[in-house]
Structure 1
Amino acid sequence: MWRKHLISLILFVAITLIAIGFPHGDDPWFSFLDTTNNQAWQLFVIYRIPELFIAIIAGFALSIAGLLLQTTLNNPLAGPSILGLTAGSHLMVALTIMGSSILGLEILDLGITISATIGALIFGLLILVIATRIRSMVSLLLVGMMLGTFVSAITNIILMKADANSVKAFSIWGMGSLQQVSIDQIPLISLLFLVGIGLAFSVTKPLNALILGEKPAAVLGVKVKQTRWKVIFVVSLLAGLVTAFCGPIGFIGLIVPNLVRMFYKTAQHGHLLLASGLIGSSVMVLCVLLIRIFEPIMVLPINSLTALLGAPIVLFLLLKNIHNA
């Protein structure tokens, strides 16, 4: 098992090193190491470090959030974006931006993060209640997608009443970007991320038991309801954090845990959480590389790129579950 972790780590380090050294324009690889090129160093510190940092955080957080949801709901098609948690964050951030504009208040990073987390938490609780009544994986998936569509419609109605500056700011944020984070925001993001990850690893034993089913887990001493509430809070925190600073990013939390389970072939969540984080971070850094490669031709929004990569995999998983049903 640790050999597979080593492979994942090597893959992550290799992709990250390529992303760090990838040339900008006509500059050579690792141009920031040239002490005579002050501009390259400033570009590296101001833009590249925050971009790679939030890519790693986003991939790690969304993948772990997806794994927690899939185990808790016993549904391999569950994910923060598919089940509407990201849409809930979307709505709350929209209300925060519009409300701040109307009241003439300045929007703080922590305020947006809290709004995104609350939105994800509300929809996470709603999905949890629905999941107790709907056992069909496909039905739960469809309910989550419909909730997401409903919330998107409400968000669009709110935008119709907003001023031009708020609409522009929200539209840019809504396209998703890994370039909205500054070097000064890294400590706050790191703190919230570490809290979420610490809580996630604290529920590994209950999650291992939940795989057997709710009744066997309860017999083993697991407080099922308490574990579910804790998982929803963790998922909301992690998904809300990423949505607040990157905009809505879909599919990562859905596809990565499934790929990890296929590769690792284990039910031990200590290993699955670590592997999901490493591979999720690798996928997001790979997206950064693809964005830079296509930058001379077009600017690719991160959520559009993850959709292009993830939609075929989601379709495959959906057809597979329908076939096995």
Structure 2
Amino acid sequence: MWKKHLVSSVLFLVITVVTIGYPHGEDAWFSFFDSSDQNAWNLFVIYRIPEVFIAIISGFALSVCGLLLQTMLNNPLAGPSILGLTSGSHLMVALTIMGSSFLGLEVLDLGITISATIGALVFGLLILLIATRVRSMVSLLLVGMMLGTFVSAITNIILMKADANSVKAFSIWGMGSLQQVSIEQIPLIALLFFFGIMAAFFLTKPLNALVLGEKSAEILGVRVKRTRWSVLLVVSLLTGLVTAFCGPIGFVGLIVPNLVRMYYKTANHGHLLLASGLIGASVMVFCALMIRLFEPVMVLPINSLTALLGAPVVLFLLLKNIRNA
């Protein structure tokens, strides 16, 4: 197993190093090794480091969230974006931005993070309640998609009443971006991320038991309801954090855990959580590199890029589960 972790770690490091060093206006490697060039160094610190940092954080967090949801719901098609958690964060952030603009107040980063977390938590509760009544994986997927459509409709109605500047800012934010984070925001993001990830790793034993089924887990002494609430809180925090600073990012939390399970072939969540995080971070850093490569031609929204990469995988998984049903 350590060899597979080594492969994941090397993949993550190689993609990260290549992305950091890829030329972007200034030679990043030159600015890194020659701090005497103050302008190049400032560009590197102000723009390159926050971009790669948030790519790592978002990929790691969303992949871990997807794994937690898939285990808790016993559904390989579960994910923060598919089940509507990202949409819930989207709606709450929209209400926060529009409400602050209407009242003439300044929106703080912590306020947006809290709003996004509350939105993810509310929709997570809805999914949790629905999952107790709906046993079909396909039905739960359709419910999540309908919730997302419903939230999008409400968001559009809110936008109709907003001023032009707020609509433009929110529309750009809604496309998703890895370039919205400043160097000053890194400590707050790192703190919330560390807290959420550590909480996820503390759930390793209950998650391993849940693989056997809820009844078997209860026999083994696992408090299933308490575990569900813990998972929901962790997923809400991490999803809200990513959505607040990057906008809604889809498919990463769905496809990465499934690919990791196929490759690792283990039910030990200690290994799966770490592998999902590393592979997810690699995927997002790779997306950051792709955005930079296409930048001379067009600006690719991160949400559109992950959808292009992830939609075929989701279709494959959906067809596979329909055939096995």
Shared fold, TM over 0.5 = yes
Residues 160-219 of structure 1 show CA distances to partners (whole Å, capped at 9, x for unaligned) of 001111111111110100000000000000110011001101111000000000100000
The one-character-per-residue Cα deviations of 1:90-145 (angstroms, maximum 9, x if unpaired) are: 00000000110111111000000000000000000100000000010000000000
Identity %: 81
Deviation digits for residues 209-230 of structure 1, max 9, x if unmatched? 0000010000000000110011
RMSD over aligned Cα atoms = 0.9
Separation in 2 of the partners of 1:24 and 1:158? 37
Contact 1:84 1:144 in 2 (8 A): yes
* Residue 242, structure 1, aligned to residue 242, structure 2: yes
TM-score by length of 2: 0.98
Does residue 160 of the first structure (1) align with residue 160 of the second (2)?
yes
Structure 1, unaligned stretches of length 5 or more? none
| Structure 2 residue aligned with 1:230 | 230
Cα distance in structure 2, aligned partners of 1:189 and 1:311: 28
2:109 corresponding residue in structure 1: 109
Q: Distance in 1 between matches of 2:81 and 2:18?
A: 29
Tell me which residue corresponds to 1:252. 252
Question: Which amino acid is 1:61 matched to?
Answer: A
For 2:30, the equivalent position in structure 1 comes to 31
Shift of 1:7: 0.7
Q: Give 1:74's aligned residue.
A: 74
Q: Matches of 1:188 and 1:233 in 2, distance apart? A: 18
TM-score, length basis structure 1: 0.98
Local SS of the residue matching 2:297: coil
Deviating above 3 A after TM superposition, structure 1's stretches of 4 or more consecutive aligned residues are 34-37
- 2: distance between equivalents of 1:160 and 1:220? 53
Q: Secondary structure at the match of 1:168?
A: helix
CA contact (8 A) 1:180 1:245 kept: yes
What does residue 120 of structure 1 align with? 120
Asked if residue 13 in structure 1 is aligned to residue 13 in structure 2, the reply is yes
Question: Given that residues 23 and 31 in structure 1 are in contact (C-alpha distance below 8 angstroms), is that contact kept between their aligned partners in structure 2?
Answer: no
The equivalent of 1:137 in structure 2 is: 137
Q: Give the corresponding residue for 1:57.
A: 57
State the distance in 2 between where 1:43 and 1:263 align: 39
**Which residue matches 1:313?**
313
Task: List gaps (5 residues or longer) in structure 2.
Answer: none
Contact 2:80 2:239 survives alignment (8 Å):
yes
Asked if structure 1 preserves the Cα contact closer than 8 Å seen for 2:85 and 2:121, the reply is yes
User: Residues 35 and 233 of structure 1: is their aligned pair in 2 closer, same or farther, counting only changes over 3 Å?
Assistant: closer
Q: Aligned partners of 1:82 and 1:308: how far apart in 2?
A: 15
Q: What is the Cα deviation at residue 267 of structure 1?
A: 0.2
1:194-233 matched pairs, under 5 angstroms? 194-233=194-233
Q: CA deviation at 1:31?
A: 2.4
| C-alpha distance in structure 1 between counterparts of 2:126 and 2:63, whole Å | 21
Mapped partners of 1:240, 1:121: distance in 2: 9
- Give the whole-Å Cα distance in 2 for the aligned partners of 1:48 and 1:21: 9
